[in-house]
Structures are given as structure tokens and as C-alpha cells.
A and B are shown apart, each in its own frame.
Chain A
Amino acid sequence: MNELLYLNVMEIRENLRAKEFTAEELTKAYLERIDETETRVHAYLSVLRDEAISAARAADDRIRTGDQDFPLLGIPVAVKDLLCMKDTKTTCASRFLENFEAPYDATAVGRLKDAGAVILGKLNMDEFAMGSSCEQSAFGPTHNPWNLKTIPGGSSGGSAAAVAARSCVVSLGSDTGGSIRQPAACCGVVGMKPTYGRISRYGLIAFASSLDQIGPFANNIQDAAILLGAVSGHDPRDSTSADEPVPDYTDDLEAGVDSMKIGIPKEYFIEGMDPEVETAVREAIAVFEEQGAEIHEISLPHTEYALPVYYILAPAEASSNLARYDGVRFGVRKKGDSTFGSLFGMYAASRENGFGDEVKRRIMLGTYALSSGYYDAFYTKAQKVRTLICQDFKAAFENIDVVLSATAPTPAFEIGERLDDPISMYLSDILTIPCNLAGLPGISQPCGFTSGGLPIGLQLVGKPFAEKTILQAAAAFERATKHHEALPPL
């Protein structure tokens, strides 16, 4: 592997500044890496070679003229294919949008460009971000770089796998119920879902609007912090984006966890958890303790309801958000059976052909939950329980700073293993979903490996807008364990 591919963001910036190599050389090294790994990993849905090289040249021009005060100047990044990028295909890994070219940049993509990043391409995912394995992509699954027979997690499987495979430096994904953290855990990388509202959702193709949040993937905490800082901040085009100042997330990463109060929710060691995962998490707790953190057992009593609440609210919002895919203005249009008129025949045929099974399943679940006569029993009730889950966290955070748990109950499973069993697939997110329901920031970082060599993820959840606290804690763990230095056998 080209040695340029081992460098982190700060090292690259120093080297570019020192003219050790150019952004163009670096970008080409990454494009070669993509060629080398993609046939096995399939993390990318599109590679933007020409655009990347011209962005790299533009970065080199800036460096030459000394105009280089941009956090990601010349850094090769990639983004999940549900972030709109002007004049490039944005497919959401769906047949429906196979040929959709967004006429605008998502705010997060615009901020990457403004920060000087070189966008290498668009990354694979479960269709419309609905899935936990990346197998629901209409364009074929992504393979886990640690074991090509296993899933990379999902829905941001491409984003996690590309970072793990060193086919980009950092990437953006999105997380609705664990779609950043669970693939980060599967692929042994860092993945963070910030506080709801931290990063603008404008241009993020919506799955469940009240839960969706964009976030960074990286091979280390510092890179994640840099990327997070570059894309965060209020956006007038997203009413739900927070008007909160954006701190420098790389400050104080060295601060350590001395007397930090870490809560371990007893409800998070669930039945069916892989023993190796549990062992790794217990070891991680010991590491934090050694570093000076105070460990407290806590209770989040409504945890068991999080999964059912999520599977009412998220599909309900999805059934609404996906109504715009009607074949009228863009995407797939098919002429259909005109039993109910040619218009409704067209709708039915377009959606039947454009959407995959999991998307259809969730549209049906959500439509049902919102139907008259069922709304109060499902949607309204689920919202009430969501409030209880928020209150659980609020009460817990009165006494602690961070909640620690496993990211997922099991390591990556084999491709195809759970495809016929949606419930077991949904269980992958049982430990990540509560954090979305409560809108809290959460991070997953590597905390060891199974005997079979698969990464295990550790999740830290913080108070609203306390990204800095969880980054500090994660950085301390990273320094103590060095799990992040392991490379997949690619």
C-alpha cells in the first residue's frame, strides 16, 4: 500500500504545506487505491475522477499562493450517496434514482468544498438508508474489508468500508438509527452521529427527518473531529439545524478522562449479545477506569421500547418522505396497469419498479401507522414513549457525563445471513437507536477484535451538543489502546 495512504489529516496538511507531495499526487494515490480495492470491497457507487483531480489541482494552486487556511485543503474524502452533489449522480442506492443528477449541493457537501476537500466519489449504502448491512443497495452489497464475506454494516456501509480500506481519508455518512455507528463498529473505524441539528440536513435525501443526522467516518478521533468541525453549524435552509456555536473539536483532545463520570446502562447488556463483544466492552470499561474515569452503573428504564418506537416513527416519516418518488418529475417512470386509471397505474408501476423490498416494507409499515384509526395507537403512542426515552437520558445525565456501551450486540455477520429475517436485522441497531430517538451525540470507535478477526465497536453517548466531551473520552481510549492502528487484510 502506498505510504501516502497511512497519513492522517494533520500529517497530510503538514506535508502539503511542506511541499513533500502535492494534493494531485495524493488524490491519484487514492484513485489508484480505489482501483485496487473496489473490485473486492465495492464501497463506491460512483468515482468522480476528473472532478477530484481538478479539485486537487485547485488545492495545489491555493497552497502555492499561500492561501491554505482551510481545514480539509487537498484531503481526499468521499460521501454517502444520499448527499446531493451538484451535477453528479445521487442515487440513494435506489433504482428509482439511478439516473438522478442533483442540481444542487447539500449544505454538508458545499461545506466540504468550501473547506478545500477533494471529493473522490459517492459511497454505497442500503437503499434510502434503510438497512443495517448494505445488502439493500440496488447496486450490490459492499464487502467488509476485514472479511470480504461479511457485511460492512449499514446503512452507511460504503462510508465505513472506504475509510477502513483506505480508499479515502475520511467520509460522510448519515445515521437514523445507527447507520453511522454500527458500520463503523463492523469496519473497525471511528464513526460519529452528532447531536440532532448539529449538521444541516439540507440536501440529505430524507429517510426519517426527525432522526436523520449526517456525521463523519475516520480512522482516528482527531480526523473525525476535524471533519465534524468542517461541516457543522447553523444553516438557514434547515429549520431544524441548531443555532449553536461550533467549537474547535480538535482542542482538548488530549484532556483525558480523569474524573469524567461514565455511566454503564444495565439495560444495554442484552440477551443475545455476543460474548466476545461483551468481554471487549468490559475491558474497555476497565481501560477508562485506569485512565481515571469514574464508572457508574445507570438505568435507562425505557430502553426495551426503543426498537418498537423506532420502527413506528421512522417508517411513518419514511412513508411520507418517499411520497415524492412518483415518477412525475424525476426518477423511474413506468407505464402501468390502468385498472385505477392511467395515472395511478403509473404511480404504482413506477414505485413497484423503482423501490426495493425493504423500502416497500417500510413504506407499508409507515403508511399503516399513520392511517386513520391507527394513528393514535401507533404514532401518537410512539411519540409519547419517545419522550420517556429522552427523559431517561436527561435523568441519567444529571449524574454522569457519558454513556458507554457496545455499539452493536454482534460483530459483522455474513452477507446473506439475515436477509430473510428482518427482525434479526433490525436488532443490529438495538443499542444505537435510543440515541437517535433522544437526538444525542454518539460515537463508535474500535475496542478490539473477535477471535475471528472482526472488529468490535464501543459506543459513547453524550449530552446534547457535548460532542467535545465524547471526542475527548474517545481520544483518551484511543491513546490507551491503539486499536485504531490495526489494518484490514486487504
Chain B
Amino acid sequence: MAYETVIGLEVHAQLNTKSKIFCGSSASFGGNPNEHTCTVDLGLPGVLPVLNRQVIEYTLRIGLAVGADIAPVCRFARKHYFYPDLPKGYQISQYEEPICTGGCVHFATKDGRDVSINLTRIHMEEDAGKLIHGNELGDPDHSYSDLNRAGVPLLEIVSEPELRNPEDAESYMRKLRTLVRYLGISDGNMQEGSLRCDANISLRPQGSEKFGEKVEIKNMNSFRHLRRALEYEEKRQREVLESGGVIHQETRLWDESAGVTRGMRSKEYAHDYRYFPDPDLVPLTVDAKWLDEVRAQLPELPDAKSKRFQNEFGLPRYDAEVLTAEKELAGYFDQVVEAAGAGLAKSASNWVMGDVLRLLNEQKITINECPITPERLAKLISLIDDGTISGKIAKTVFDQVAESGTDPETIVEEKGLRQITDTSAIESVVDDVLTSNPEEVEAYQGGKTKLMGFFVGQAMKATGGKANPRALQEILREKLGS
């Protein structure tokens, strides 16, 4: 039987506010254990939470960006469970009355499909702390709690079960990261845990309307883990079903080193969280004026940017998606095009997606640290366009600009890299090449036209790569009589 995979993701994004969601402690990552704590996030007797306004504003940004309905009045609720990383014995979250409902995330797949995934809700909540188990410290009888992270603001972004394969789940997750980074509300770093994800996955017979029993998967700390875990689970569930077995609702943990998911707890032991509205916090009101202010400050979003790149610069969809995946990269590209002119946008796109990204990868730096300014890259592209240098020489110039931090024109002049366009100079080089390779000339004329590359190579070598390739090929063809 053919099965359809159904996946829904619950994504947690840590907001990069200065202070925590309900107190003034620093929300920054790291620090000595319990350094970023105060009476409130330690849950001491008598303390009360006060909502951080920045958290609401950040939530409104993403709510508006995905086109969610923003509740004029929403509430916080307490979610109860006992664990040493949860100081109050409850997490302040939102339950029946979240701030955002609905909304939609769009992305393009590598094979060019447009996918839209509806969101169920987005809500605000506080993060828990961390436990450090003593066996990591040579003290196996104790566990220690570090509450630096307790109270750091989180968004929970819940998708509808509309994803149909692990690859789309990864693309969706990447798109969410792109969004939160564009909006400046989260670092979106999966390794540091500022972006986390739980997945619900089930299988159902192709064509069936009814969902199959779902399994929740946790502990996926990278995009790769997410995809691999879902692929594994998809396969596992298919095998269970095909062999006549049943899937039980349960939570499974992804074990990256073993490449498998393992059962953690089954539904029988599910917590009763006893949610109820937090009486320490008043209902939160968001009025139209506030929403308008936040809307007015939203940056150009990736989807709009991608459309603009396609419409104004004539870029292919794929280029536009790659260039807009990171706000800073898109900004860099925009500056290159601004300096070089929209007519060179495709060329600019090739350079940015190719050599610039390669350079960033090699040097492990971000686009903001790129040693080649957008203006210099634009200049380099213009030098190719007006025939001053060849595309091939341009690669050398690119590396030298990166290395020396000088202007491409200076490098071209100083190193004499200007392209030879003088046909008589090229002709004499071609003559030399043909004279010294009589056998190849004969073979070529006998029909081995692939040897054209050999002659181009020889002539280029003789000119130090500076010969205008188009002129060179024309002259070669002429002289070889083809």
C-alpha cells in the first residue's frame, strides 16, 4: 500500500531581547551558571512576573510577517509540572488565548515547487533552565541546575500538519529561520538552541482523509538532524504498518550518533499540565495603533525581496531564493546591483552565489565580514562587461582583491591583466601556436574539432590568459579554415 506522510512542526525560537520575559535578568546566552538570575526567575516566594514589552513587539513582528490574526486581547496561562529546571513548578505560557492564530509560511523547494504551510498559532512563553548532571563533573551523586536560561523569552510556532515529506520540513524550518533573522527577533541558531523543533509525524494510506496515529520526535539540534530523524521515522512507521503492526502515540528521541529514534514516554504517562490563566498577569491588550507602528517598522521580507529580485532584475526563482535566504546576503547583493546597474544583475547573482559564498565558506566568515565590498565586486563585474578583463582573469582579480583589499582596477593595471583585444597581437600568437603544433592542426582539420580547446588553451597560456576569448576563437577558426 502507498502511504502519505503527514508532518507538523512545533518550533521554539528564543527571542534575542536584552532581558528575560518576566524580569530584568540578562537573556544573553552563556554566562557562569546562575549568573543571569534574580529573585523573580529563581521563583523565590513572593515574587511576581512583569511582562517585557519588547517580547510582545517581537511577537507582533512575526505575527504580521506571516499574516496571522493578532488577538486584541490575549492571556498567559500556567503550565504545571515538577522538574528542577522549572523554578516555579509551572511554566508561564499561553494556552487557550494565544496572541497569534493562523498565518502562513511560503517556501520554494529545490525542485521548484511552491509550498505554503498554514500555521495553527504562535504564542509567547518562558524557557526553562538547564540541568547539569554530576557525572559530567565527576560527581555522579548530584545534579546541578543552571537557571540562566529560565525565563528567556520563547516563541512557540505551531504548524498545521500540512508538511508531506522530511525535505519540506527542513525547508520550512529554514524558512522560519530566515524569517526570524530578517525580523531581527532571534539568532535562529539551532546548535546553541535558540531555534528548536519538535516534530509530529504520522503515516496514512494514500488518499485517506483520516490521520494516522502520530509520534512526537524531540532532540533534533540541526536541520540535518531534523531531516534524518523524519526520514528514519517515516521508514520505521512504514515498516511497522506494512508488517501489519500499529503505531502507538508516543514521544521518541532522535539519537544522532546511532541514527535512530527511540521511545521516551508513551501516552499513558502523559502529564496533566493543569493549565489555567495566570492570575499574576493581566490580560494583554494590543490595539490597532500599536500594530500599525510595528507594521510600519517591518523590514522588506524575504518573499517580497525574492519577488523583487525576479521582477526587477530578471533573476531565476532559484537565484532569488538563495540570495534572499539571509537578509545580509540580500543586502549585499542589492548594493552590488545598485553600483553595477540592474543590467548586470544576473552576472552579480552568479558572482555572489558562486565566488562570494565560496570565499565566505573557505574563510568561515559572514557576509558582513566579506573582504570584498559590494562596490568592488560591482567594479569587477563592470570590468568584465566592458571587456577590460576576461571572465577568467576576473577570478584571479577577485582572489587578489580579497587578499589585498585593494581596488580591482588597481590590480588590473599594476599586474597588467588588461585583456588583449588587439587582433594583430592575437593573430601572431595564434600563428606561433599553429606552427609549433602541426600534428594537432592536421588532426583538427581531419575532423577532431574537439582540439579547439587545446589551441585556445595554448594561446591563452602564451598571453598569460589575457587574450579576449571571443576574438581568439574567431581568429583560430579563421586560421584553421573551419
Q: Which residues of A contact B (CB under 8 A)?
A: 82-84, 90, 92, 97, 100, 102-104, 106, 201-206, 208-210, 236-240, 316-317, 319-320, 322-324, 326, 328-330, 343-344, 347, 367, 370-372, 375, 379
B339 shortest CB reach to chain A, Å: 50
Which residues in A have their C-beta under 8 angstroms from that of B39?
Answer: 103-104
- 6 nearest CB pairs, A to B: A323-B89, A210-B279, A209-B279, A370-B274, A205-B45, A203-B46
Q: Is B317 close to A, CB under 8 A?
A: no
A107 shortest CB reach to chain B, Å: 10
B82 touches A329 (CB 8 A): no
B276 touches A375 (CB 8 A): yes
Nearest-neighbor residue (CB-CB) of A371 within chain B: B272
Indicate which residue in B44, B87, B90, B282 contacts A103 across the interface (CB closer than 8 Å): B44
A104 shortest CB reach to chain B, Å: 5
Given the contacts A104-B39, A347-B82, A240 and B276 also touching, CB distance less than 8 Å: no
A188 shortest CB reach to chain B, Å: 30
Docked pose: A344 CA to B82 CA in angstroms: 8
Docked pose: A92 CA to B88 CA in angstroms: 17
Given the contacts A316-B276, A367-B274, A379-B276, A328 and B48 also touching, CB distance less than 8 Å: no
Q: Which residues of B contact A (CB under 8 A)?
A: 39, 42-51, 78, 80, 82, 84, 87-90, 145, 272, 274-276, 279-282
Which residues in B have their C-beta under 8 angstroms from that of A102?
Answer: 44-46
B80 touches A320 (CB 8 A): yes
- 9 further A-B contacts with Cβ under 8 Å, apart from A103-B44, A320-B78, are A203-B46, A204-B46, A237-B48, A239-B49, A240-B282, A317-B279, A324-B43, A324-B45, A372-B272
B82 touches A320 (CB 8 A): no
Nearest-neighbor residue (CB-CB) of A366 within chain B: B274
Docked pose: A324 CA to B45 CA in angstroms: 8
B84 touches A323 (CB 8 A): no
Indicate which residue in A237, A239, A319, A324 contacts B87 across the interface (CB closer than 8 Å): A324
Q: Which of A236, A237, A239, A375 has the most CB of B within 10 A?
A: A239
Nearest-neighbor residue (CB-CB) of B85 within chain A: A328
Q: Which of B47, B50, B275 has the most CB of A within 10 A?
A: B47
B29 shortest CB reach to chain A, Å: 22
Q: Main secondary structure on chain A at its contact with chain B?
A: loop
Which residues in A have their C-beta under 8 angstroms from that of B276?
Answer: 316, 320, 370, 375, 379
Q: Which of B45, B84, B145, B275 has the most CB of A within 10 A?
A: B45
B46 touches A106 (CB 8 A): yes
Docked pose: A339 CA to B289 CA in angstroms: 56
A450 shortest CB reach to chain B, Å: 37
Docked pose: A204 CA to B48 CA in angstroms: 9
Which residues in B have their C-beta under 8 angstroms from that of A372?
Answer: 272, 274
Q: Which of B51, B82, B274 has the most CB of A within 10 A?
A: B274
A239 touches B281 (CB 8 A): yes
Given the contacts A209-B279, A210-B279, A370-B276, A343 and B84 also touching, CB distance less than 8 Å: yes
A84 touches B50 (CB 8 A): no
B45 touches A92 (CB 8 A): yes
Docked pose: A203 CA to B44 CA in angstroms: 9
Nearest-neighbor residue (CB-CB) of B273 within chain A: A372
Docked pose: A352 CA to B44 CA in angstroms: 20
Nearest-neighbor residue (CB-CB) of A328 within chain B: B84
Which residues in B have their C-beta under 8 angstroms from that of A347?
Answer: 82
B145 touches A328 (CB 8 A): yes
Given the contacts A239-B51, A328-B84, A100 and B282 also touching, CB distance less than 8 Å: no
A311 shortest CB reach to chain B, Å: 16
A202 touches B87 (CB 8 A): no
A323 touches B88 (CB 8 A): yes
Which residues in A have their C-beta under 8 angstroms from that of B281?
Answer: 239-240
B46 touches A324 (CB 8 A): no
Which residues in A have their C-beta under 8 angstroms from that of B46?
Answer: 82-84, 90, 102, 106, 202-206
Nearest-neighbor residue (CB-CB) of A90 within chain B: B45
B272 shortest CB reach to chain A, Å: 5
B145 touches A323 (CB 8 A): no
B174 shortest CB reach to chain A, Å: 36
B45 touches A100 (CB 8 A): yes
A236 touches B44 (CB 8 A): no
Indicate which residue in A82, A209, A320 contacts B90 across the interface (CB closer than 8 Å): A320
B45 touches A239 (CB 8 A): no
Given the contacts A323-B90, A371-B274, A97 and B279 also touching, CB distance less than 8 Å: no
Docked pose: A201 CA to B282 CA in angstroms: 14
Docked pose: A206 CA to B278 CA in angstroms: 13
Which residues in A have their C-beta under 8 angstroms from that of B45?
Answer: 84, 90, 92, 97, 100, 102, 205-206, 324, 330
B139 shortest CB reach to chain A, Å: 15
Which residues in A have their C-beta under 8 angstroms from that of B272?
Answer: 371-372
Docked pose: A205 CA to B89 CA in angstroms: 15
Docked pose: A117 CA to B105 CA in angstroms: 59
Nearest-neighbor residue (CB-CB) of B40 within chain A: A237
Q: Which of A210, A347, A370 has the most CB of B within 10 A?
A: A370
Indicate which residue in B50, B274, B275 contacts A237 across the interface (CB closer than 8 Å): B50
B186 shortest CB reach to chain A, Å: 25
Which residues in B have their C-beta under 8 angstroms from that of A208?
Answer: 279
Which residues in B have their C-beta under 8 angstroms from that of A106?
Answer: 46
A82 shortest CB reach to chain B, Å: 8
Which residues in B have their C-beta under 8 angstroms from that of A329?
Answer: 42-44, 87, 145
Docked pose: A208 CA to B50 CA in angstroms: 18
Given the contacts A323-B80, A344-B82, A202 and B48 also touching, CB distance less than 8 Å: yes
A341 shortest CB reach to chain B, Å: 11
A320 touches B44 (CB 8 A): no
Docked pose: A202 CA to B23 CA in angstroms: 13
Which residues in B have their C-beta under 8 angstroms from that of A103?
Answer: 39, 44
Which residues in A have their C-beta under 8 angstroms from that of B44?
Answer: 102-104, 329-330
Which residues in A have their C-beta under 8 angstroms from that of B280?
Answer: 206, 209, 239-240
Q: Which of B42, B80, B279, B282 has the most CB of A within 10 A?
A: B279
Which residues in B have their C-beta under 8 angstroms from that of A84?
Answer: 45-46
Docked pose: A329 CA to B34 CA in angstroms: 12
A323 touches B82 (CB 8 A): yes
B48 touches A239 (CB 8 A): yes
Docked pose: A326 CA to B51 CA in angstroms: 25
Which residues in B have their C-beta under 8 angstroms from that of A240?
Answer: 48, 279-282
